[in-house]
Chains A and B, each alone.
Chain A
Amino acid sequence: MAELPIEEPKAERPQSGLSRFWASDFAWKFRRSPVAVTSFAVVLLLVLSAVFAPLISPYDPFNPASLNLMNGFTPPMEPNAFTGDEFWLGTDDQGRDVFSTILYGMRISLFVGFAAVLFAMVLGVSLGLIAGYVGGWTETIIMRVADVQLTFPAILVAMLIFGIAKGFTPIEYRDQMAIWVLIIAIGLSDWVQFARVVRGATLVEKNKEYVQAARLIGRSGPAIMMRHILPNVLSPVLVIATISLALAIIAEATLSFLGVGAPPTQPSLGTLIRIGQGFLFSGEWWILFFPAVTLLALALSVNLLGDWLRDALNPRLK
């Protein structure tokens, strides 16, 4: 039986969820694709190191007590001229360990990215479901708004929302609230994709027999939308969410780089690149280089994963 795995019956005895997943088509396709495995590994590594940043990072970059200004501008892998301390990736102007700031910065970048996509997904999927299922005026209004928003690039919409929200926040809370404002701004700039796809899928699903059956036995509209239609339109949503995550991470980095995102007290990768750009001409390349490479690795691997997921789950979306 071991020599002929093809003839093995697929589900003879009840299996645990994990092993069923391992035997599924999807997992098989995943194992066969080196790009998918590699990019997944990179994403996993980066996410884990961001989550466990306080345990991994050799220094706490935001604790003023552990900082020594004498350590400023230490090149990577070289002992500092005054203190003799060594830093893997060097230090910035304030003597903060670049490796540690990257880990903490990635935390902010990933948190904003995931939260923004989650927000966009919930908003877009709900509006898409309602538009598709209810139809009529509701649909016209939702889809018109989507069309108008789609006319403008997402990053521009995010900037505007950020600016408006900043205007509403009292000055003393602006730095504290910046991260949340950022999440709302990026999330609001990104819901249209979800709404359009879900509406399209809902239009197809709502005329199928199982929905008619559910209607016949008297289930309410919201119940039909949530329990019956939603599970059947989720796979394209997953694909869009992954690609959106890459876009959201880049959008966050761009906004922070432009100085309209994460504040210097909570630097994300974009903020670190903004800081590092100032030292490009004076030769301290590492302050810019390592955050930039991390951002690239993160965005690229999430992107590749999203592309692969799209091909694997739904080739027609291509």
Chain B
Amino acid sequence: MLGFILRRVLQSILVLLVVGLVAFSMFRFVGDPIDNMLGQERTQADIERLRTQLGLDQPFPVQYWRFLEGAVQGNFGVSYRQGRPVAEIIAERAPATLELAAVSGLFAILGGIALGVFTAIRRDGIASNVIMTVSLIGVSLPTFLIGILLIYIFSVELDMLPSFGRGETVDLGWWTTGFLTESGLRALILPAITLGLYQMTLIMRLVRAEMLEVLRQDYIRFARARGLKERAVNFRHALKNTLVPVITVTGLQLGSIIAFAIITETVFQWPGVGLLFINAIQFVDIPVMAAYLMLISVMFVAINLIVDLLYFAIDPRLRDERAAAG
């Protein structure tokens, strides 16, 4: 088991090194950093000085190593567009994205499991069929159209919820939160639904399929025969045994939520990291792009690693097999 964990961790580090190389190459080869930093009036001496100062006269591997050193310490250089350290800008924007992702993740998991169990238990009911059909349409709709549709219904027609921004936020010094004010909470509703809807339908369909599979098993029949209540059978015996694939998919979807936040943040002008990234692409702000790439890779790799290890911890059968195999 230790060997397995070690191998997975090593693999993850390798992936990060490769992504780091991509990010570094962006820095180094897309446009000339010297050009980007010096103005029109420059002398050859200025150029040489900056070149030495930035370490651009060093061999490639040395430069790469320095970049990695900087990246590990959270130093990604200065944004070409805003002229401020990238780390500072990202730290300022991160709370907005993380709060949005957390709320939509919660919405997707709770909604998905609840609807999945419901549609599995009443598999032939009218409500279940309606939910399944609607979910099919929901999966085919592009995220940004769902967002626009929600804005049209709840902001334009009903005038109930705000269509852009975070509302009022409370500054806790190192974190700005929208959870503590009414307008902040109201502003969260539409973006969170937009972002979480796809993941919710995915989790729902998975839970439903797994539940239908499990409900056919002998031990469920046996539990029923013992006279256990339906509730106990459905939740204690059936749902529990569907959780392994659900946890895997949910974990992997967490990464997608962060990535798809880019779209949702643009639709709702949510001042998060995703909107920052899109603006960076539009203006070819390489340091911000590279930093975002590194950050999101760390997140994805970490999530994958945790899911793999969790898998291991949850399902004792896997543990024994792998341990037996070496």
Contact = CB atoms under 8 A, between A and B. Distances in A.
A258 B263 contact: yes
B197 interface: no
Contacts of B267: 277
Given A156-B262, A254-B263, A168 B30 contact: yes
A296 B141 CA distance: 7
Interface in B122-181: 140-145, 148, 151-152, 155-156, 163
A292 to B, nearest CB: 6
B260 interface: yes
B284 A280 contact: no
Contacts of A225: none
Contacts of B143: 254
Interface string B208-239: 00000000000000000000000000000000
A148 B148 contact: no
Interface stretch (A106-114, A159-167, A204-212): A159-167
Nearest to B148: A277
A160 B295 CA distance: 13
Main secondary structure of the interface of A (DSSP, over half): helix
Contacts of A257: 144, 263, 266
Given A167-B31, A259-B282, A273-B148, A281 B156 contact: yes
Interface string B90-102: 0000000000000
Given A151-B301, A254-B143, A273-B144, A162 B156 contact: no
B165 to A, nearest CB: 14
A153 B301 CA distance: 13
B296 A163 contact: no
Interface residues of B, number: 40
Q: Which size bracket describes the interface of A in this complex? A: 20 to 34
Interface string B254-277: 011001101100110000000001
Interface of A: 148, 151-153, 155-156, 159-160, 162-164, 166-168, 250, 253-254, 257-260, 273, 277, 280-281, 288, 292, 295-296, 299-300, 303
9 smallest A-B Cβ distances: which pairs? Answer: A167-B30, A163-B281, A156-B259, A153-B259, A167-B284, A260-B281, A250-B142, A257-B144, A258-B266
25 contacts: A148-B15, A151-B304, A156-B262, A156-B296, A163-B284, A166-B281, A167-B286, A168-B30, A253-B144, A254-B142, A254-B144, A254-B263, A257-B144, A258-B144, A258-B263, A259-B278, A259-B282, A260-B278, A277-B267, A280-B148, A280-B156, A281-B155, A296-B141, A296-B145, A299-B142
